[in-house]
Amino acid sequence: MYTFGIDIGSTSSKAAILRDGKDLIAHAVVPLGTGTVGPSQVRAAVFEQSGLSQKQIDYTVVTGYGRMKCDYADEQISELSCHAKGIHYLLPGIHTIIDIGGQDAKALKISDTGMLLAFQMNDKCAAGTGRFLDVMSRVLNVQIGELGPISEKSTHPVSISNTCTVFAESEVISQLSNDVPLADIVAGIHDSVAKRVAGMAMRIGCVPDVAMSGGVALNIGVVHSMEREMGCPVQVHPLCQCAGAIGAAVLAWGKYIKGAIKANE
Amino acid sequence: MADLHTNLSLLETACMNPRAQLDNYLKQGKKVVGCFPAYTPEELVYASGMIPMGLWGGHTELKLAKSYLPAFACPIMQSDLEFGLQGAYEGLSAVIIPTLCDTLRCMTQNWRFGVPSIPMIPIVYPQNRKSPASVEYLISEYEHVLVMLSTITGQMMTEKALCDAIDVYNAHNAAMREFADLANDHLDVITPKVRHAVMKSAFFFAKDEHTAIVQELIDGLKQLPAYKFTGKKVILTGITGEPDEMLEIFAENNIAVVGDDLAQEMRQYRTDTPEKGGGGLRRLALQWNLRHGCSLIHEDGKPRGVMLVRLCGENDASGVVNCLMKFCDPEEYDQPYFESDLRAAGYPTLTIEVDTQNTSYEQIRTRVQAFCEML
Amino acid sequence: MSDTITTESSAAPAAKPKRPKAKSMIMIGEQTQALFENARLAKERGEKVGWSASIFPQEIAETLGLVVLYPENHSAGIAARHQADPFLQECEGSLGYSNDLCAYAKVNLTYSSVLAGQSEVELPDGGKMVRPDFLLLTNNICNQLTKWYENLAKQLNIPIFFIDTCYNPYDYVTETRVRYVRAQIDQLIKDLCEFTGKTWDDEKFQKIMKISQRNSYLWEHANNLMDRKPSPLSGFELFNYMSCMVCNRGKESTTALLEQLNAEIEQHIAEGTSTYPVEEQFRVSWDGIACWPYLRHNLHTLKEYGINMVASSYGKAWAIEYEDLDGMARAYCFASTNGDNASTMISRRLEALKRFGCEGTIYHVNRSCKVMDCQMMEVQRQLSALAGVPFMSFDGDQADYRNYSEAQFETRIQGLVEVMKQNKEAKANG
């Protein structure tokens, strides 16, 4: 029995197909989000990988920013619940998930079975999100992907104190013009993001084990900063970007089973 | 049935266009006095033969207000000031501003200089209600309000008129409480949006008129069979639970509002003026001492959490939505305490930032949906 | 606050000899140490110790012989020594508070949570801000204090002794307010005596009143000496002495140190010297409390242009004159500039601008302080027009170091200087 989960985000689309709710037989990421060809591209990709078509899918769940406009889905579920389930699938034993995306940051507390217990979101302010890193990487004239490796060379991270991204940018420029080593500045930027997000996570309480997901989780520097801020190890699964889609597929299976039981009554 | 929906429509229209209500009263030759949130002695205005009308802000582009208020003043004050400066409140004879929080304190001065065409009447409620002297003090504040009202408008009040006004307001409170109770048996008709309209519209009508309408609503509802609501039930807490877009998202997720602790709604109606205790002014002052569980009124022991737990139990709610007015520091101080009390009692809380200047609701939609999935 | 809140707290790489510490500064350091030491000893003796709002009638605690500490002042010290970060993180994190709140409160609520055993943040001062047994509260300064103390009372399970001083929308304090405040004072004294086991001694009260009045006079006198041209002090230094007026206003040790301070200033005047390190080019008024986390940067930037702060709204903050409890009731309603209406605020500031010959105003938009910021734009506009003096504002915070931009401050000061320079030249040319 096959279930299909698709996560239509604002800047990327992810999809996953599960067999019998446990075997991940296909997954894909396309860096184009809602309103573009991204969703249809990622859908085509997983069908090709698995050799399946929509007809063979028993239940489809859509999630993410663009979840309201998906006509082939059986149900739409919030990205928070889907993410929780997805990380639980990838890393059983996780109870706290920190998701830092391009536009927002979330902290999720989940149960032993991957059910969402509590959540905290920052969806208004650029500080503590990928956007902050975007701005800084431009100022520093480095690629986003280079930030992590650069920061690992830092010996004395600077303190970027401002929570306002605009002011923080000016702080970074000032550090640059004072010939502070690039690695120390980048490490300082990572610490700033980690601090902001850790504070948010502490509001729901940090229960081990802790995992990070979202685009920013691929930045090893931020991950290490988070570990220092939270005072505990932070795991990152290589497929974490697909957590939402995977979780959607897991939840889809649950819904399908429930529906099948009901039908038999 | 037609009556029920006609009345609901009437109340919803008033909320969407309070200016029309104001113009209506002005056309009738009545004087109208604007009342800032959250508590003002409306009875004094009413007893002086005028109509008190609530000024709870609204969605508007902020331009002129920026010369008076920094970005971190709450949206209600920002929009009230903007409306005042733009002339949207023209026709009001005066405004009454209670200094219940730091921003409201400043508003008395901003209005005084910014909108001199509408005279400002300040009232400073006592916060040390344990002191018996606070009653005398509040009476003197009421008298000051009366002097200013009569000087500005020429309208005066008699003791009898005040006692009648108190009766009218108490009757209104009773009707609103009855409505709130009854609404829970008719959640198909009284959706979150509709419930809010009934509550908020009280600020745009003369209280006795509003009572009459609400009484008809109650009679109409009683004729309907009780509705078995199968979705999730929540209590709202905070200053205001709006706008409609947020309430529609609740409905979308099959969430019903079965009670509230909102400054704009039940906090107005849950405390009556005592029938005994002295003359009208004294009784009105004693009512202040009876108010309970509001962030704007000093109280020992952080009792709001216990109150909310009780509200959940009484109304069969499974959680609380904290409609946290942006930049509202009194509410922000209460938040960790009542969240903790609710958590201990097994009631999850969702916090939604309330901002009348907001234009996008996607994030709220996600949060509400996730919360619903959690309940 | 056992250290001075000046630039001297940071490491100085310069080789030039440092000015020896003024005796008055040593005295205030000793006084602060003594206050915390007394609190510790009082706790050891099993006596009740309180925390108080900064403009609570200290005469009451002083007369009763109670040791009282001041959270606002304490938080300012933590912020000035750059120790606020873990407190802010904990407050906005595990304690679940909004970032929007006053940073003095944020720091203190975390500190109190540590004392209550509910948070684990290292206390950089080792816990010398001892756990209180009662709270003394007035709201003349602001409403946030009331909520802050409500939370402290609940957290620490202690009583609040509250005097509601009521905001003054008029240009004078109404008799109705005086009666209400007086009644509260009378009851509070009774309740506090019952709670602490102390007794009220009217003779002692008379003595404390006299000392407090003397200290108010000396404080105002010292501030007023700044009207000399050039000013005998670097104005920011007066912020260092505020703790004696906040925490020890009714004590003889304050009389001694203020007399010493006045003597030092008079000596500077006599000798034509000043503690202001460069030539005084521009005289300005500083509106708002100090931006404690960035005093060093503020001073450095101002020094670059020869700007000296010669006036502030704190000079007259404790100009509290009265002869009896009724007078005290009235005085405390009027004491905090925050409890005044705009016209009073304007007239007080106008007086200062004229008296001290100020050429500009620097207004600190203190993110922690809505009670000031939400009416200051209009006040500054009117003031500027009345006094003919330009003003400039900058974003900062009294304790939250994350709300400040060095670049913004520098740019705006430069702008102010340009206007002041223009005005000076225009005046010179008639």
Kindly report, residue by residue over C8-29, the tens digit of the pLDDT: 334 444 455 567 889 999 999 9
Sheet of A13-19: strand order equals: A23-30, A13-19, A2-8, A59-63, A75-76
Sheet of A210-213: strand order equals: A116-122, A105-110, A96-100, A210-213, A234-236
pLDDT of res. C247: 93
CATH number for position A191: 3.30.420.40
- Top-level CATH class of B21-155? alpha beta
All residues of chain A having their beta carbon less than 8 Å from the beta carbon of residue C94 are 202-203, 205
d(CA C85, CA A161) in angstroms, rounded, equals 10
**Is the CB of residue C118 less than 8 Å away from at least one CB of chain B?**
no
Give the angle B305-B308-B314 at the CA atoms, nearest 5°. Answer: 145
Quick check: C297 and C409 in contact, CB under 8 A?
Answer: yes
d(CA C216, CA C222) in angstroms, rounded, equals 10
All residues of chain B having their beta carbon less than 8 Å from the beta carbon of residue A81 are 370, 373-374
Asked if residue C336 has pLDDT above 80, the reply is no
Write out residues 159-188 of C within 8 Å (CB-CB) of B. 160, 162-164, 166-167, 169, 174, 176-177, 179-180, 182-184, 187
Rg (CA), chain A: 19
**Is the CB of residue B300 less than 8 Å away from at least one CB of chain A?**
no
Which of C180, C372, C376 should one mutate to test binding to chain B, selecting the residue with the greatest count of B CBs within 10 A? C180
All residues of chain C having their beta carbon less than 8 Å from the beta carbon of residue A195 are 89
Which chain B residue's Cα is nearest to C183? Answer: B133
Asked if residue B165 has pLDDT above 60, the reply is yes
Structure tokens belonging to residue C188? 């509070």
d(CA C185, CA C201) in angstroms, rounded, equals 15
Instruction: Give the closest of B348, B353, B369 to A78, CB-based.
Output: B369
Rounded to a whole number of angstroms, the distance from the CA of A128 to the nearest CA of chain C is 13
Q: What is the dihedral of CA A205, A149, A164, C405, to 10 degrees?
A: 130
Contact C99 A202 (CB under 8 A): no
Domain around A18: 2-87+242-264
Rounded to a whole number of angstroms, the distance from the CA of B243 to the nearest CA of chain A is 18
Residues A133, A196 within the same domain: yes
All residues of chain C having their beta carbon less than 8 Å from the beta carbon of residue A202 are 89-90, 93-94
Strand A234-236 and strand C307-312: the pairing is unpaired
Contact C405 A161 (CB under 8 A): no
Residues A48, A163 within the same domain: no
pLDDT of res. C12: 43
Quick check: B312 and B320 in contact, CB under 8 A?
Answer: yes
**φ, ψ dihedrals at A55, nearest 5°:** -60, -35
Q: Which percentage of chain B shows pLDDT scores above 70?
A: 99
Residues A102, A228 within the same domain: yes
Residues A200, A246 within the same domain: no
- Region C19-202: CATH code: 3.40.50.11890
pLDDT of res. B351: 96
All residues of chain A having their beta carbon less than 8 Å from the beta carbon of residue C399 are none
Residues A82, A108 within the same domain: no
**Is the CB of residue C93 less than 8 Å away from at least one CB of chain A?**
yes
Contact A171 C406 (CB under 8 A): yes
**Is the CB of residue C401 less than 8 Å away from at least one CB of chain A?**
yes
Contact A78 B374 (CB under 8 A): no
pLDDT digits (tens, 9 = 90+) for B256-309: 999 999 999 999 999 999 999 999 999 999 999 999 999 999 999 999 999 999
Instruction: Give the closest of A65, A78, A104 to B370, CB-based.
Output: A78
Query: In this structure, which amino acid lies at residue A14?
Result: K
**Contacts across the A-B interface (CB distance below 8 Å):** 34
Residue B366 banded pLDDT, cuts 50, 70, 90 = very high
d(CA A165, CA A127) in angstroms, rounded, equals 6
d(CA B267, CA B294) in angstroms, rounded, equals 7
Q: Is C102 helix (H, G, I), strand (E, B) or coil?
A: coil
pLDDT of res. C17: 57
All residues of chain B having their beta carbon less than 8 Å from the beta carbon of residue A124 are 353, 363
**φ, ψ dihedrals at C296, nearest 5°:** -60, -45
Structure tokens belonging to residue A27? 């997954």
Residues A77, A107 within the same domain: no
**Is the CB of residue A163 less than 8 Å away from at least one CB of chain C?**
yes
Contact B366 A80 (CB under 8 A): yes
Rounded to a whole number of angstroms, the distance from the CA of B190 to the nearest CA of chain A is 26
User: How many residues are present in chain C?
Assistant: 430
Query: In this structure, which amino acid lies at residue C245?
Result: M
Rg (CA), chain C: 21
pLDDT of res. C18: 66
Contact A79 B366 (CB under 8 A): yes
pLDDT digits (tens, 9 = 90+) for C108-145: 999 999 999 999 999 999 999 999 999 999 998 899 99
Which chain B residue's Cα is nearest to A63? Answer: B366
Instruction: Give the closest of C92, C405, C407 to A199, CB-based.
Output: C92
**Is the CB of residue C116 less than 8 Å away from at least one CB of chain B?**
no
Strand locations in B263-358, DSSP E?
319-325, 349-354
User: How many residues are present in chain A?
Assistant: 265
Rounded to a whole number of angstroms, the distance from the CA of B197 to the nearest CA of chain A is 27
- Top-level CATH class of C204-428? alpha beta
pLDDT digits (tens, 9 = 90+) for C131-141: 999 999 999 88
Residues A115, A215 within the same domain: yes
Residue of C24, C25, C23 whose CA lies nearest to C6: C25
Count CB atoms within 10 A of the CB of residue C18.
8
Count CB atoms within 10 A of the CB of residue C54.
25
pLDDT digits (tens, 9 = 90+) for B80-91: 999 999 999 999
pTM here is 0.92
**Is the CB of residue C89 less than 8 Å away from at least one CB of chain A?**
yes
Q: How many domains does chain A have?
A: 2
How confident is the model over B196-203, as a mean pLDDT? 98
Asked if residue B245 has pLDDT above 50, the reply is yes
Contact C408 A200 (CB under 8 A): no
Contact A170 C407 (CB under 8 A): yes
Find chains touching chain B: ≥3 CB pairs under 8 Å. A, C
Instruction: Give the closest of C90, C96, C402 to A162, CB-based.
Output: C402
Contact B353 A78 (CB under 8 A): no
Residues A148, A259 within the same domain: no
All residues of chain B having their beta carbon less than 8 Å from the beta carbon of residue A119 are 367, 370, 374
All residues of chain C having their beta carbon less than 8 Å from the beta carbon of residue A173 are 407
Which chain A residue's Cα is nearest to B336? Answer: A203
d(CA C426, CA C409) in angstroms, rounded, equals 26
Instruction: Give the closest of A174, A198, A199 to C407, CB-based.
Output: A174
- Give the DSSP per-residue string, B22-43: HHHHHHTT--EEEE-SS---HH
All residues of chain C having their beta carbon less than 8 Å from the beta carbon of residue B131 are 164, 180, 183-184, 187
Rounded to a whole number of angstroms, the distance from the CA of C390 to the nearest CA of chain B is 17
Residues A105, A222 within the same domain: yes
A82 CB-contact burial (10 Å; exposed 0-12 / middle 13-18 / buried 19+): buried
d(CA A45, CA C129) in angstroms, rounded, equals 63
Residues A37, A105 within the same domain: no
**Is the CB of residue C118 less than 8 Å away from at least one CB of chain A?**
no
Which of A108, A111, A117, A123 should one mutate to test binding to chain B, selecting the residue with the greatest count of B CBs within 10 A? A123
Find chains touching chain A: ≥3 CB pairs under 8 Å. B, C
Contact B353 A124 (CB under 8 A): yes
d(CA B63, CA B111) in angstroms, rounded, equals 15
pLDDT digits (tens, 9 = 90+) for C242-272: 999 999 999 999 999 999 999 999 999 999 9
Contact B363 A104 (CB under 8 A): yes
Contact C169 B140 (CB under 8 A): no
Residues A30, A159 within the same domain: no
| Whether residue A209 has a cis bond before it, omega within 30° of 0 | yes
Rounded to a whole number of angstroms, the distance from the CA of A248 to the nearest CA of chain C is 30
Which of C95, C98, C158, C162 should one mutate to test binding to chain B, selecting the residue with the greatest count of B CBs within 10 A? C98
Count CB atoms within 10 A of the CB of residue B9.
12
Residue-level pLDDT, tens digit, chain A, 265 residues: 999 999 998 889 999 999 999 999 999 999 999 999 999 999 999 999 999 999 999 999 999 888 988 999 999 998 899 999 999 999 999 999 999 987 889 999 999 988 888 888 887 777 888 889 999 999 999 998 999 999 999 999 999 888 788 888 989 999 999 999 999 999 999 999 999 899 889 888 889 999 999 889 989 999 999 999 999 999 999 999 899 999 999 999 999 998 888 888 7
Domain range summary for chain C, segments of one domain joined by +: 19-202, 204-428
pLDDT of res. C1: 39
pLDDT of res. C8: 38
Quick check: B260 and B237 in contact, CB under 8 A?
Answer: yes
**Is the CB of residue C151 less than 8 Å away from at least one CB of chain B?**
yes
Q: Provide the angle, in degrees to the nearest 10, between the axes of the packed helices C23-44 and C252-271.
A: 170
Contact A200 C404 (CB under 8 A): no
Which chain A residue's Cα is nearest to B349? Answer: A118
Residues A124, A208 within the same domain: yes
d(CA B369, CA B366) in angstroms, rounded, equals 5
